[in-house]
Amino acid sequence: MLNKLAELKKSRNAVILVHNYQRKELQDIADFTGDSLELSRKAANTNADVIVFCGVHFMAETASVLCPDKKVLLPDLQSGCPMADMITAEQLINFKKENPGATVVTYINSSAAVKAETDICCTSSNALNVVKSVQNDKIIFCPDRNLGSYAQKVLNKKLILWNGFCPTHMKMLPEYVIEQKKKHPDARFLVHPECCPETVALADEVLSTTGILNYVAKSSHGEFIIGTENEITFKLQRTYPDKKFYPVTDLAVCPNMKKNTLEKVVNVLENMTNEVKVPAEIAERARLPIERMLKIS
């Protein structure tokens, strides 16, 4: 299978971008792994003709918006993000009407159609800088109410929050964290800002997925409680066998991220199927808020 993949990659001039939550078998064949911001940057700058995006649908859409001339393939078209599906373009248009004059900051976990109604996008790693950059006291933040609450608290700035959330991160309850902290009192608790405010309040550091990986790489600590999808915990344990990593809960799995497999990657490259293509009219409007974000962070 790996030989076939190598041949296909060469003949198609393809690059394989893999999100940090993807199965190990995909991280192993990646040209680049990373968080949403890093992968958007890689997509924007690649010379490849084909991007195989091992992530969820909104990530492939973002790559298509940034590279309209390239073919973006998603190994499993069913790998969506429930949080991104919690707001539609029509709902955002109505929300803007209810809050006239507001600047719209949209988390990258959203559809291209929603981005097209947005002033500036953000990811988990640059949300604070993006919100800080907005020169308007009236800001709509969507769809993640938890990332919005976190930015609101750190920046001491009131935001108009949309009520979206990540079902996977909502499983990381504060009581589980307290239990783990009791069992491992010396562990640092690193959390993703998609967790609920009560869980985030218990954290030593609030970081994106790559932020968590980089923090551990530089830290002299030997034990960590990891408050994000469990692939990060597994990856850290493989990379640092002498350190200890504890998940907040074994329930912290994103089923959508796990739909992509090595077999499906080979299949889409062989047959050039599962293309994610954003219609030109939407892509043009969605590009601006993404590019604004890429400029400031």
Interacting residues with ligand SF4 between 185 and 204 (CB under 6 A): 194
Written as six digits, the tokens of 242 are 């002498």
Q: Tell me the Ramachandran region of residue 240: left when phi exceeds 0, alpha when psi lies from -120 to 50, beta otherwise.
A: beta
Residue 61 lies near ligand SF4 (rule: CB under 6 A): no
Residue among 183, 186, 194 at smallest CA distance from 232: 194
Give which of ligand SF4, ligand 13P, none residue 111 binds (C-beta under 5 to 8 Å, depending on kind): none
Query: What are all long-range contacts of 155-162, with beta carbons under 8 Å and residues at least 24 apart?
Result: 155/128, 155/131, 157/131, 159/105, 159/131, 160/95, 160/99, 160/102, 162/86, 162/87, 162/92, 162/95
Residue among 110, 91, 84, 54 at smallest CA distance from 167: 84
Closer Cβ to ligand SF4, 143 or 289, answer by number: 143
Pairing label, strands 160-161, 244-247:
unpaired
Phi and psi dihedrals of 278, rounded to 5? -90, 130
Residue 144 lies near ligand 13P (rule: CB under 6 A): no
Residue 256 lies near ligand SF4 (rule: CB under 6 A): yes
The DSSP-derived string for 165-197 is --TTGGGS-HHHHHHHHHH-TT-EEEE-TTS-H
Written as six digits, the tokens of 63 are 């790559």
- Cis before 143? omega within 30: yes
Closer Cβ to ligand 13P, 121 or 266, answer by number: 121
Can you tell me which of 35, 76, 229, 231 binds ligand SF4, judged by CB under 6 A?
A: 229
Residue 124 lies near ligand 13P (rule: CB under 6 A): yes
Give least dist CB 2 to ligand SF4, A: 27
Per-residue string for binding with ligand 13P, 5-44, x by CB under 6 A? ---------------x--------------xx--------
Give which of ligand 13P, ligand SF4, none residue 20 binds (C-beta under 5 to 8 Å, depending on kind): ligand 13P
Closer Cβ to ligand 13P, 63 or 269, answer by number: 63
Can you tell me which of 81, 104, 200, 203 binds ligand SF4, judged by CB under 6 A?
A: 81
Residue 199 lies near ligand 13P (rule: CB under 6 A): no
Can you tell me which of 40, 111, 123, 152 binds ligand 13P, judged by CB under 6 A?
A: 123
Task: Name the strand (E) or helix (H) holding 205.
Answer: strand 205-206
From the list 23-31, 38-46, 90-98, 161-169, the region that binds ligand SF4 by CB under 6 A is 161-169
Can you tell me which of 41, 82, 174, 237 binds ligand SF4, judged by CB under 6 A?
A: 82
Can you tell me which of 109, 146, 180, 274 binds ligand SF4, judged by CB under 6 A?
A: 109
Sequence letter at residue 136: N
Q: 39: number of CA atoms within 13 Å, CB side?
A: 35
List of residues contacting ligand SF4 (CB under 6 A): 56, 81-83, 109, 166, 168-169, 194, 229, 254, 256-257
